[in-house]
Structure 1
Amino acid sequence: MMSGFDTAAVAGCKRKRKSNKSDRKHIKAKTRKSPSAVDDDPQTTMLHLETQIVESRRHYNNIATLIQTAKRQDGENETAILAAVSLCRVFARLISAGDMVKSKGMPESEVVIIKWLKERYREYLNVLLDDYLRSQDAPRRSTSLTLLMRLFKEESGGQKDYNWKNGHLFRLVEILLLHPEKYSTREEFAEKYFNQFDDIRFYTFQSITSILKYEHEDYIEELISSNGLALLLALDRIPGSKDDLDSFFGETPSQSKSPLYSLTAHKSQAQEAWLAVLRSGLSKDQRKAVLGVFTHQIAPWFQRAEMLADFLTDSFDVGGATSLLALSGLYYLISEQNLDYPSFYQKLYSLLNNGLLHSKYRSRFFRLLDTFMSSTHLPAVLVASFIKRLAKLALHGPPAGIVVVVPWIYNMFKRHPACTFMIHREIRDPEVKKEFEEEGMEDPFAMDEPDPMLADAIESSLWEIETLQSHYHPNVATLAKIISDQFTKRSYSLEDFLDHSYNMLLDAELGRELKKGPAVEYEIPKRIFTAEESETGPLGQLMAKVIALS
């Protein structure tokens, strides 16, 4: 029975409802079910209890019955879910009709009813949040999310300045962040609500920030951080101006007061949420995921670019592909948000190491390197150091890596003609020229110098590329000869060389049609160590000496 007030008293305090006569006829028609149908069919049973509640307040006790049914964990999943859906419709009607709001001058009996309804509503929300949303059963979780968002929408109806964070959205986000990573409910929330509605996004940012500020045990902290990152990474819609803030899940807020119409407020909340996640500690894979979308999903939310500089420099120290992605982010901040970072090219230069041409990230690196070095205003001394260092690495690199280096060097010479001294510098002093011809020249380039401005590459030459013209792989040898030819081609498209592999080069060579067959030995010798006219041949005599000396 309904606790707190008498059902007879309730029946005597009926309030006028907004439903018309046709609705009442429809409801009565639904209630005329046979007892056997009500008992046998769970859906009919739930609908019967629901329509009784709508028909008369004397049946409010059905709400408690439906809540107990929704709580059932005895395997009858369908019945429990049907009860939860019916309760959602019941409370949505009550909230919409204003039957759960106190007013001045209201009789005490009405106050008791409203108090009881609010208690049942809180109990029902706890069932959805604590039992359903945390359940291991996917249909229960999905149903819970849909019902909760429907109720939140009803709560905000008619309240232009409804504060979602002070409602139950905070608890919902907290539970989603505590979900195991395999659960898909978080992705469903991100796709249907977080990514679509400005008010949901604004208060979800606030919730993530607040939750990550709490102190948790280490494994819970790691789970919340990981799920918070996954939720933020799912957000790919970034408002570009105030006019883009026009999609609201709840009631449209008043423009004069609400921060939901402020682009600055949105970016501030997003910035705080991202900083909270980044400060909570990321694994190597998570850091890569963040850096991979940095330029188009994270940086645009930040109004002060320098706040991200420390994260990017720390990421660079991780090494490998992480360093490369971090430099990509730094370059974006330098070029788009005017970040002052004078050591950028020195850090980029440090990535030119022995493992570069063997790395699986080689193609990505050269794409970014081509972007970083695209400016024609870079000092020739700096460009010369990059050219020389890559030429050195090409001597020991695989053919698939060398075929990228050579056209890149060619393009650099076209952009920076001052560097062509490295391939053509006339020695006018005859004595110096004679000395070089007789004794050779020591390469002035300092390979171990970390600062490209001090490596003296501009004083050196590209003898490495000329050496590659005698490479064992014919494709590499042919390509290296472009440095010795006249620079008549404007530039090479680097994309044509980036995705080559050793197998591809080998297959292309083996599949080539031969215009002229290779020369072979036409006379096969009968003996190797002995000759026909003597006891032993030259090779046999040599072998005899080796045996004697040993």
Structure 2
Amino acid sequence: MLLSELQSLGSQLLSSRAHINNVPVLLNYMTETSAAEHCVESLLSLQAFFTPLVQDLPSKSLKKANHNNPDFIYKAWLRSMFDDFLQSLINITISPIPDPALREVTLDTLMEFVKVSNRGKFHSAVYYKLLHAIVFSSLTVSDILLDVLPSKYFKYIDIRYFTYTSLEKLSQCLVYNSDDRTTNANSEKLPSESMDNSIRNLFHLLSSIPHLQAADSNADHEMWNALGIFVKKDIVIDGKGISKKKNKTQKTGDTSEKVLSAANVSKKIKQKFNKAWILFLGLTLPVDLYKEVLVSLPHDVIPHLSNPIMLCDFLTRSYDVGGVVSVMALHSLFILMTEHGLEYPNFYVKLYALLEPSIFMAKHRAKFFELLDSCLKSPLLPAYLAASFTKKLSRLALNVPPSGGLIVIALIHNLLRRHPSINCLVHQDHVETSEYDSERKEDSLAVASSANTRDRVGVDHFDNEQSDPRETKAMLSSLWEIDTLRHHYCPPVSSFVSSLENDLTVRAKTSEVAVKDFSSASYATIFNGEMRRRIKQVPVAFYSSTPTTLFSDAEFPGWTFNLNNECPVSLNEDKGATRGSEELDPSAKRKRVEH
């Protein structure tokens, strides 16, 4: 059909009731496969036709009843056509085929019917139907409607309220689909791919709703529908200006409407916000979405919950997962512990278990190390716990990149300043009998063995494989690992160790180090810093004679090297630092090839 013919059909429909059969003809062009101009023309004609009639149409329950009244049958038929029109609008809105302009037009038409089709009140059923189609669509919401819904409609307070209400119901639907124990002959389970996509769509909608900025101002409480949920009814203003409830004998014209206060509106919104998020967090989230949710909780969810302790079960389960998920859950859990009184006895044990070399290459390592520094800031931290974390970090410094070494030095610097009781770790050559050994000795042989081990120089009592920080014996050890960083191949690391020694010597003139200045360091940042550094003296390697080996024998006292590869390298424990009297066979040396 030509576009002019569609315009003629629309004009006939609006001019006379005799052309009512033009409605199904126009509906045939309300599809996602129709041309955009035909679809828009049909949409405008049908919208102009149904808008003045929609309030008088019977509801779905009455439409199914058997009535012999011809006028009612006619209105019931119009109701069926209107429902088909709404469904066509929804199908076009969530379809990937139409252009953004057509999608925005259909969405605007739907929202207009949400405003006027329920006798002037907000039509929550039509709005729920729209959100249901969006969530269970096979497309990603962020690619379809997130650029239109938040900017045009989520600024209205009543739309936010009914959005939370609808998403709460949709979360319950997804809980049903994920529960294998429930069966219903009239419902079908969603496949796993569709289930994950629906959960993602639900999260994108939930996280895109803006929060109320102030509870004492009505500036943020603009409503889409004047007769919404936040309007008090049956209020009468008497001659003295006092508001009273309307009596049955009073006329309807004497009633007035009063918008709820900003505090009451905020309270209602917060209740729906709590229910929607708690139900959503009870779903089985995909791994990638799980991480995204954990990142958004501290800033977008916890500050707006009426009782953030409700998240303790979700966060403790996430913290027990381990790996990157535990790192992401640490921030929210730390907020609950420090600001909302959550008690979590195994917090430091789990935090100690997260200290692995892989954490220095994780994506969110910067935030993790800042939180680690905050968690170890309390002066009430036991000495054994502070010593275990200090020793664990120093041991990790031997296996991490140079950027990780900088972070470790900064953390240990702060720990030594905050907890003077662990300053003995700075230099501890010999350890006297301690409570660790006295409580755990079983017989005289074990006591003698431990005493012999204790007297040996160079033995580290720290148990790096122990997962419980109370059992690591860190107080019996020393920070020899930090001393090895003094000779690190990366100049920033070695110079930072020297500054650490100076800071511990002159405590009155120094302060704690800001970990965030080092937590985002990498090979690139260190290299760029070295490139920008102004070099005053260039290091030059000078040898009086041409070297024949990479390392000199003086650097390995007590060791004898055999070049025949028949016997392994052995340690001469009896002769100490003296070299064997036998000289190496000159013939065994590799001859220089002349070209």
In the superposition, the TM-score normalised over structure 2's length comes to 0.70
The question of 1:66 aligning with 2:26 is answered yes
How far did residue 142 of structure 1 move?
3.4
The question of 1:78 aligning with 2:100 is answered no
The letter of the residue matching 2:537 is K
- Equivalences for 1:58-457 in 2 at 5 Å? 58-71=18-31, 73=33, 75-95=34-54, 100=57, 114-130=75-91, 133-134=94-95, 136-139=97-100, 140-156=102-118, 158-159=120-121, 162=122, 164-165=123-124, 167-182=125-140, 184-188=143-147, 190-192=149-151, 195-214=154-173, 215=177, 216-219=189-192, 220-238=194-212, 241=215, 246-253=221-228, 255-256=231-232, 261-423=264-426, 439-440=456-457, 442-457=459-474
How far did residue 52 of structure 1 move?
4.8
* Alpha-carbon distance in 2 for matches of 1:524, 1:454: 52
How far did residue 327 of structure 1 move?
1.3
* Alpha-carbon distance in 1 for matches of 2:455, 2:378: 41
The letter of the residue matching 1:146 is D
Judged with a 3 Å threshold, the aligned counterparts in structure 2 of structure 1 residues 437 and 141 are, in CA distance, closer, same or farther, namely closer
How far did residue 393 of structure 1 move?
0.8
Residue 542 of structure 2 corresponds to 520
Aligned-partner SS, 1:341? coil
How far did residue 406 of structure 1 move?
0.8
Aligned-partner SS, 1:418? helix
Judged with a 3 Å threshold, the aligned counterparts in structure 2 of structure 1 residues 445 and 93 are, in CA distance, closer, same or farther, namely same
The letter of the residue matching 2:490 is H
Aligned-partner SS, 1:469? helix
- Equivalences for 1:502-521 in 2 at 5 Å? 502-506=523-527, 508-509=529-530, 512-515=534-537, 517-521=539-543
* Alpha-carbon distance in 2 for matches of 1:60, 1:414: 85
8 Å contact 2:32–2:95 — kept in the other structure? no
Aligned-partner SS, 1:213? helix
The letter of the residue matching 2:211 is R
Judged with a 3 Å threshold, the aligned counterparts in structure 2 of structure 1 residues 398 and 112 are, in CA distance, closer, same or farther, namely closer
The one-character-per-residue Cα deviations of 1:241-293 (angstroms, maximum 9, x if unpaired) are 37567232222435447999554443333333333333331121111100010
8 Å contact 2:366–2:520 — kept in the other structure? yes
The one-character-per-residue Cα deviations of 1:224-249 (angstroms, maximum 9, x if unpaired) are 22211222122342566375672322
8 Å contact 1:212–1:224 — kept in the other structure? no
How far did residue 48 of structure 1 move?
5.0
**Mean Cα displacement is larger for which, 222-231 or 357-366?**
357-366
Judged with a 3 Å threshold, the aligned counterparts in structure 2 of structure 1 residues 61 and 450 are, in CA distance, closer, same or farther, namely same
* Alpha-carbon distance in 1 for matches of 2:352, 2:584: 56
The letter of the residue matching 2:191 is D
Aligned-partner SS, 1:444? coil
* Alpha-carbon distance in 2 for matches of 1:472, 1:123: 74
The one-character-per-residue Cα deviations of 1:195-237 (angstroms, maximum 9, x if unpaired) are 3223222222332332343432233333322211222122342
Identity of aligned residues (%): 27
Judged with a 3 Å threshold, the aligned counterparts in structure 2 of structure 1 residues 62 and 517 are, in CA distance, closer, same or farther, namely closer
8 Å contact 1:156–1:251 — kept in the other structure? no
How far did residue 308 of structure 1 move?
2.1
**Mean Cα displacement is larger for which, 311-320 or 279-288?**
311-320
Aligned-partner SS, 1:174? helix
8 Å contact 2:132–2:170 — kept in the other structure? yes
The one-character-per-residue Cα deviations of 1:119-140 (angstroms, maximum 9, x if unpaired) are 3322322322346544633445
8 Å contact 1:315–1:322 — kept in the other structure? yes
How far did residue 114 of structure 1 move?
4.1
How far did residue 172 of structure 1 move?
0.9
The one-character-per-residue Cα deviations of 1:444-488 (angstroms, maximum 9, x if unpaired) are 333233332443434432222122212233332221123332233
8 Å contact 2:486–2:493 — kept in the other structure? yes
The letter of the residue matching 2:587 is A
**Mean Cα displacement is larger for which, 329-338 or 285-294?**
329-338
* Alpha-carbon distance in 1 for matches of 2:137, 2:44: 23
8 Å contact 1:46–1:86 — kept in the other structure? no
8 Å contact 2:383–2:421 — kept in the other structure? yes
The one of 510, 524, 536 aligned to 1:489: 510
Unaligned runs of 5+ in 2: 60-68, 178-188, 234-258, 433-451, 549-581, 591-595
Judged with a 3 Å threshold, the aligned counterparts in structure 2 of structure 1 residues 363 and 58 are, in CA distance, closer, same or farther, namely same
8 Å contact 1:194–1:204 — kept in the other structure? no
The letter of the residue matching 2:154 is N
Judged with a 3 Å threshold, the aligned counterparts in structure 2 of structure 1 residues 326 and 437 are, in CA distance, closer, same or farther, namely closer
* Alpha-carbon distance in 2 for matches of 1:56, 1:358: 73
* Alpha-carbon distance in 2 for matches of 1:304, 1:393: 39
Judged with a 3 Å threshold, the aligned counterparts in structure 2 of structure 1 residues 541 and 423 are, in CA distance, closer, same or farther, namely closer
How far did residue 541 of structure 1 move?
6.6
How far did residue 347 of structure 1 move?
1.2
8 Å contact 1:363–1:499 — kept in the other structure? yes
* Alpha-carbon distance in 1 for matches of 2:324, 2:371: 12
The one-character-per-residue Cα deviations of 1:16-37 (angstroms, maximum 9, x if unpaired) are xxxxxxxxxxxxxxxxxxxxxx
The one-character-per-residue Cα deviations of 1:65-90 (angstroms, maximum 9, x if unpaired) are 433443594x4331122211232233
* Alpha-carbon distance in 2 for matches of 1:473, 1:296: 37
The question of 1:542 aligning with 2:573 is answered no
Judged with a 3 Å threshold, the aligned counterparts in structure 2 of structure 1 residues 409 and 445 are, in CA distance, closer, same or farther, namely same
Judged with a 3 Å threshold, the aligned counterparts in structure 2 of structure 1 residues 109 and 198 are, in CA distance, closer, same or farther, namely same
8 Å contact 1:235–1:297 — kept in the other structure? no
* Alpha-carbon distance in 1 for matches of 2:428, 2:404: 28
The letter of the residue matching 1:290 is V
